[in-house]
Amino acid sequence: MDKLLIRGGRKLSGEITVSGAKNAALPELCAALLTDEPVTLTNVPRLRDVSTMRQLLTHMGVHTEDVAGERGGLLLHARGVLKAEAPYELVKTMRASVLVLGPLLARFGAARVSLPGGCAIGSRPVDQHIKGMQAMGAEIVVEHGYMVARLPAGRKRLHGARIATDMVTVTGTENFLMAAALAEGETLLENAAQEPEVTDLAEMLIKMGAKIEGHGTSRIHVQGVERLNGCTHEVVADRIETGTFLCAVAATGGDVLLRQARADHLDAVIDKLTDAGAEVEAGSNAAGPFIRIRASGRLKAQTFRTTEYPGFPTDMQAQFMAVNAVADGTSKVTETIFENRFMHVNELVRLGARIQTEGKVAMVEGVPQLSGATVMATDLRASASLVIAGLVAEGETTVDRIYHLDRGYDQMEVKLRALGADIERIK
Ligand SMILES: CC(=O)N[C@H]1[C@@H](OP(=O)(O)OP(=O)(O)OC[C@H]2O[C@@H](n3ccc(=O)[nH]c3=O)[C@H](O)[C@@H]2O)O[C@H](CO)[C@@H](O)[C@@H]1O
Ligand SMILES: C=C(OP(=O)(O)O)C(=O)O
């Protein structure tokens, strides 16, 4: 099992390019199921989740191939499917596999998708996905750990519906968007997720011929069409990878330019970094958008609570907690999206952080210095938080179980090394 060995204490400086977003690429790979024409995605990040999704689509009979000469180019062609099925072995490692449900039902009228397992950050049910698909006319039973979904006898397509979810759900909204794009009639999504990844998917679907309005707001209208065509689409930049590097610089100090980084997708995090005392400058040049961050000395601890976009992202909570762990002052971090997303706390404490949790709240008392130790990554963003802490800690930190990190970061240690960090992967 790979580990990361970090010798902390170096400031970060230099330039790196942010990769395409995991959470946009995954639904966009699934969107290829909606058409019998080829779809080309560019800026697809090299991640374990992307390979898993590719494996899942291949298992279904979708042809996939790398496109030479394009950064992160991937062609997908779903002429038909051999099996409209997502087996447990693939779904268990990646919750996003649930995103095949909508496209399979919409195009082929049937799907058998394993229920995603619970994971380290909380129980993660899919009741809203099921409820929404049922509202669109699907019959769904859950048996032997699978959602078995089909259209009633005699029906060829899902039908439009008004879907108002009990809470804002990102992959739920994405599943409904893809299903509604090929459904008969109009769908209204109320309480829709406004995350940039949802908007990016909607923009891709529009290129495929879908009729969607209101994406980026909480009310999305979709007028279903009979068929969709292929398209070429560039995956939006990863705002969480961007935020992770910003937090790394905030914690270690330094001066870094992130190319292709979208500040407009990260306002809540940038506001907190600025309040903490970092200098953040966003702009755009011929090569695209960029963010530059400069930080020195101890920053001021920041209290925050996670909420849906445009609020502070839950996927940035662990990384910002690492910044707070070495900041000046005490901060209160409230996690409102997932019930068990503080698994990094005990590991940060092993590095010398002073953090106490009670329910959804973590109280972080900043300390002037962390000290290196061996720590264990428990989930994707927890791993990133430990890497940040390791970059600051005095001495050596070993982060174990980094397969979690590899699910969602494209060569993180290579990028950090390019910024001057002393970090290596140990096989
Ligand atoms: C692949 C992907 O895009 N993953 C992101 C997506 O996950 P994901 O789409 O799984 O997260 P959701 O937005 O659905 O979850 C939000 C909340 O709703 C609850 N819920 C959700 C669906 C449902 O049917 N029933 C239910 O109770 C969840 O348990 C959670 O408490 O959004 C999360 C919240 O921003 C991010 O942390 C994940 O990185
Ligand atoms: C929780 C995350 O991903 P997933 O929904 O794929 O588990 C994440 O990206 O932080």
- Cβ neighbours, 10 Å, residue 272: 25
Q: Could you give the CA distance from residue 300 to residue 338 in angstroms, rounded to a whole number?
A: 26
Which ligand is the nearest neighbour of the Cα of 167?
Answer: 1
Please check whether residues 151 and 136 belong to one and the same domain.
Answer: yes
CB under 8 A, 24+ apart: contacts of 271-277: 272/302, 272/304, 272/312, 272/320, 273/246, 273/247, 273/299, 273/323, 275/300, 275/302, 276/250, 276/300, 276/301, 276/302, 276/323, 276/327
What per-residue string of b and e applies to 105-129 under the rule 16 or more CB within 10 Å gives b? bbbbbbbbbbbbeebebeebebebb
Confidence at 81, pLDDT banded by 50, 70, 90: confident
Query: Which whole number is the average pLDDT over 156-162?
Result: 97
Please check whether residues 210 and 347 belong to one and the same domain.
Answer: no
Select from 273, 218, 222 the least CA-distant residue to 250.
273
- Cβ neighbours, 10 Å, residue 166: 10
DSSP letters for 199-215: HHHHHHHHHTT-EEE-B
Please check whether residues 263 and 328 belong to one and the same domain.
Answer: yes
Please check whether residues 226 and 264 belong to one and the same domain.
Answer: no
From atom 8 of ligand 2, which residue's Cα is the shortest distance away? 315
Please check whether residues 150 and 86 belong to one and the same domain.
Answer: yes
Q: Which pLDDT tens digit goes with each residue over 350-362?
A: 999 999 999 999 9
One-letter amino acid for residue 132 of the chain: G
Domain boundary among 234, 250, 274: 234
Please check whether residues 334 and 380 belong to one and the same domain.
Answer: yes
Q: Could you give the CA distance from residue 111 to residue 84 in angstroms, rounded to a whole number?
A: 5
Domain boundary among 210, 234, 258: 234
One-letter amino acid for residue 172 of the chain: G
Closest ligand 1 atom number to CA of residue 240? 39
Give the Å distance between the CA of 96 and the centre of ligand 1.
10
Please check whether residues 278 and 291 belong to one and the same domain.
Answer: yes
Whether residue 102 contacts residue 134, with contact meaning beta carbons closer than 8 Å, is answered with no
Query: Which whole number is the average pLDDT over 272-295?
Result: 97
DSSP state of 98: G
Give the Å distance between the CA of 166 and the centre of ligand 2.
20
337 marked as part of a ligand binding site: yes
Please check whether residues 251 and 287 belong to one and the same domain.
Answer: yes
Q: Could you give the CA distance from residue 388 to residue 249 in angstroms, rounded to a whole number?
A: 9
What integer pLDDT is reported at residue 259 of this predicted model? 98
Please check whether residues 265 and 309 belong to one and the same domain.
Answer: yes
Confidence at 119, pLDDT banded by 50, 70, 90: low
Give the Å distance between the CA of 223 and the centre of ligand 1.
25
Q: Which pLDDT tens digit goes with each residue over 20-50?
A: 999 999 999 999 999 999 999 999 999 999 9
From atom 32 of ligand 1, which residue's Cα is the shortest distance away? 170
Mean pLDDT rounded to a whole number for the chain: 96
**ipTM, 2 dp:** 0.99
Please check whether residues 299 and 368 belong to one and the same domain.
Answer: yes
Is 70 exceeded by the pLDDT of residue 193? yes
Domain boundary among 234, 258, 285: 234
Q: Please give the tally of structural domains in the chain.
A: 2
Is 70 exceeded by the pLDDT of residue 82? yes
Query: Which whole number is the average pLDDT over 211-222?
Result: 98
From atom 21 of ligand 1, which residue's Cα is the shortest distance away? 169
Whether residue 320 contacts residue 355, with contact meaning beta carbons closer than 8 Å, is answered with no
Task: Give the residue numbers annotated as catalytic, written as ranges.
Answer: 119
What integer pLDDT is reported at residue 11 of this predicted model? 98
Is 80 exceeded by the pLDDT of residue 117? no
Domain extent at residue 190: 22-234
What integer pLDDT is reported at residue 84 of this predicted model? 93
Select from 12, 13, 18, 20 the least CA-distant residue to 290.
18
Ligand 2: residues whose CB is within 6 Å? Answer: 23, 95-96, 121, 315, 380-381, 408
Confidence at 80, pLDDT banded by 50, 70, 90: confident
What integer pLDDT is reported at residue 118 of this predicted model? 60
95 marked as part of a ligand binding site: yes
Please check whether residues 107 and 211 belong to one and the same domain.
Answer: yes
Confidence at 415, pLDDT banded by 50, 70, 90: very high
Indicate which CATH number applies to the domain containing 136: 3.65.10.10
Give the Å distance between the CA of 380 and the centre of ligand 2.
7
* Substitution site in 167, 241, 338 for ligand 1 pocket (most atoms within 8 Å of beta carbon): 167
| pTM value surpassing 0.90 | yes
Q: Which pLDDT tens digit goes with each residue over 391-404?
A: 999 999 999 999 99
Please check whether residues 223 and 272 belong to one and the same domain.
Answer: no
Q: Which pLDDT tens digit goes with each residue over 174-190?
A: 999 999 999 999 999 99
Confidence at 348, pLDDT banded by 50, 70, 90: very high
